[in-house]
């Protein structure tokens, strides 16, 4: 297994667990909305982790956007103290995205044959 997959999956699971905790302990509708948004974007991060082996660059963009949108969904609740709860998920998703971008891009075999002739 690749590192971006494992780290991205861990970040997505942290995000989902934290989102469900926020939803269950919500005191307002805005806090519930923030938790639902974070859960949806954690699922996006899980999808990015799942395709990180074949579509490395696209998975990196999915993981990065997931981390960004989870960060932006926190102020919807009106309090920034939730950012501390989501910090591990955001950091792990961001690290997985960086690892995806650091991997060399694979060139299909038919392009190598065209360049050689």
- Longest Cα–Cα distance of the chain, Å, equals 67
Tell me: pLDDT of 97 over 90: yes
Establish if 111 belongs to a structural domain.
no
Residues 38-56 have pLDDT tens digits of 999 999 999 999 998 888 9
Establish if 38 belongs to a structural domain.
yes
Tell me: pLDDT of 107 over 70: no
Rg (CA), the chain: 17
Q: Looking at the 3D structure of the chain, how many domains does it have?
A: 1
Between CA 40 and CA 24 the distance in angstroms is 16
Establish if 116 belongs to a structural domain.
no
Establish if 114 belongs to a structural domain.
no
Establish if 112 belongs to a structural domain.
no
Tell me: pLDDT of 71 over 70: yes
Tell me: pLDDT of 111 over 90: no
pLDDT band per the 50, 70, 90 thresholds, residue 108: low
- Give the pLDDT of residue 66: 95
């Amino acid at each position: 297994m690749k590192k971006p997959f494992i780290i991205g999956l861990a970040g997505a699971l942290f995000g989902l667990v934290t989102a469900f905790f926020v939803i269950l302990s919500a005191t307002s509708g805005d806090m519930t909305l923030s938790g639902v948004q974070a859960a949806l974007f954690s699922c996006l991060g899980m999808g990015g982790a799942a395709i990180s082996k074949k579509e490395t660059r696209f998975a990196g963009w999915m993981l990065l956007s997931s981390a960004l949108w989870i960060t932006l969904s926190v102020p919807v609740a009106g309090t920034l103290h939730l950012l501390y709860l989501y910090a591990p998920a955001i950091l792990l998703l961001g690290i997985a995205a960086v690892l995806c971008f650091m991997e060399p891009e694979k060139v299909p075999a038919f392009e190598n044959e065209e360049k050689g002739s």
